[in-house]
Amino acid sequence: MAPRDHRITLLGKPGCHLCDDARAVIERVAAELGVPWEERDITASPEDQAEYWEMIPVVLIDGVQHDYWRVNENRLREALTR
């Protein structure tokens, strides 16, 4: 599977400084590899709040949880290129 065939989702909430850090990492890696990504505000979904509130930011790759709290740039890049 090519990197561009994956999709990254960032789950966060407004005012979250760790979410800002995660967004910067995702923007860099996604731009470099041509991977589409989206951001979801967990405060808009009771289900997301219940599941992820204690862990944000959470990064999903193709809908599967990859990382939370701090996003490791090298680990994200590796997951998208293997």
pTM recorded for the entire structure: 0.94
Question: Which tokens in the block code for residue 74?
Answer: 């090298």
Going residue by residue through the chain (82 aa), what tens digit of pLDDT does each one get?
A: 898 899 999 999 999 999 999 999 999 999 999 999 999 999 999 999 999 999 999 999 999 999 999 999 999 999 999 8
Among candidate residues 50, 65, 73, 72, the one with its CA nearest the CA of residue 9: 65
**Cα of 42 vs its chain's centroid, Å:** 12
Rounded to 5 degrees, what are φ and ψ at 45?
Answer: -140, 115
User: For position 38, what pLDDT does the model report?
Assistant: 98
3-state helix/strand/coil string of 32-69: HHCCCEEEEEHHHCHHHHHHHCCCCCEEEECCEEEEEC
User: For position 76, what pLDDT does the model report?
Assistant: 98
